[in-house]
A and B are shown apart, each in its own frame.
Chain A
Amino acid sequence: IAGITQAPTSQILAAGRRMTLRCTQDMRHNAMYWYRQDLGLGLRLIHYSNTAGTTGKGEVPDGYSVSRANTDDFPLTLASAVPSQTSVYFCASSGSGGHNSPLHFGNGTRLTVT
């Protein structure tokens, strides 16, 4: 792998179902993030993790949970999907250059909740 890998690439999910979006990075970055991107809106932060073992809530955390068991993996779980969670989800990471380090993004997961 090189960079950030997200899986699946796309998914159609029935409302009420549970779903985990996977994110793995091989850059040994400490900080990782989950964003959602909706048409006409800026990227919105769902959850973040500054280092393995810690997580924090972003702007739109409701209905989502994350874990950071190790440096490389940062899965995002939708416990019971709703149609408003239809979106494109991007995982990102940033290096040790401080808060102004640029984000590296995965290729995204396009999720449709029906």
Chain B
Amino acid sequence: GQNIDQPTEMTATEGAIVQINCTYQTSGFNGLFWYQQHAGEAPTFLSYNVLDGLEEKGRFSSFLSRSKGYSYLLLKELQMKDSASYLCAGLDSNYQLIWGAGTKLIIKP
């Protein structure tokens, strides 16, 4: 079966760095997405990786290892507004998105 695993909840301190991991098992693979979702709001796109390596976008970076079926989202210089859920989603061979349940990130001052 197809599956996306990510931690349910993480806590970090304002100003610090946090890494949110995601492992995936999909039928084929056409890339991996990360979305941010604030409580009560819609998910918004953060990143897309299809090749191995690190993609950096300001304070946020996303990493992919296709051989390990593994990705992570790295958030630097954490701000209180980064408190949100982070959703990992893999694109399978049929270009269907398989979604993880999301990681709720709590930022403490």
State in angstroms the CA–CA spacing of A106 and B44 once bound together.
Answer: 10
Instruction: Point out the residue from A44, A99, A100, A106 that lies within 8 Å of B99, measured CB to CB.
Output: A44
In the complex, chain A residues whose CB is within 8 Å of the CB of B31: 100
CB distance from A54 to the nearest CB of B (A): 15
Q: Write the chain A residue with the least CB distance to B41.
A: A107
Instruction: Point out the residue from B45, B48, B95, B101 that lies within 8 Å of A40, measured CB to CB.
Output: B101
Tell me whether B107 is interfacial, beta carbon within 8 Å: no
CB distance from A105 to the nearest CB of B (A): 4
Instruction: Point out the residue from B4, B30, B44 that lies within 8 Å of A99, measured CB to CB.
Output: B30
State in angstroms the CA–CA spacing of A103 and B91 once bound together.
Answer: 12
Cβ-Cβ contact count across A and B, 8 Å cutoff: 44
Most buried by B among A40, A102, A106: A102
State in angstroms the CA–CA spacing of A57 and B95 once bound together.
Answer: 14
Chain B 30-55 interface 0/1 with A at a Cβ cutoff of 8 Å (1 = within) = 11010100000111110010100000
Is there contact, CB below 8 Å, between B50 and A90? Answer: no
Q: Write the chain B residue with the least CB distance to A6.
A: B42
With contact pairs A90-B42, A105-B42, A107-B42 given, residues A42 and B102 touching in the complex (Cβ less than 8 Å): yes
The number of chain A residues with a CB under 8 A from chain B is: 16
- B residues near A, CB below 8 A? 4, 30-31, 33, 35, 41-45, 48, 50, 87, 89, 91, 95-102
* 30 sampled A-B residue pairs with Cβ under 8 A: A40-B101, A42-B4, A42-B87, A42-B89, A42-B99, A42-B100, A42-B101, A42-B102, A43-B99, A44-B99, A90-B42, A90-B43, A99-B30, A99-B91, A99-B95, A100-B30, A100-B31, A100-B48, A100-B50, A102-B33, A102-B45, A102-B48, A103-B35, A103-B43, A103-B45, A103-B97, A104-B45, A105-B44, A106-B42, A108-B41
- A residues near B, CB below 8 A? 40-45, 90, 99-100, 102-108
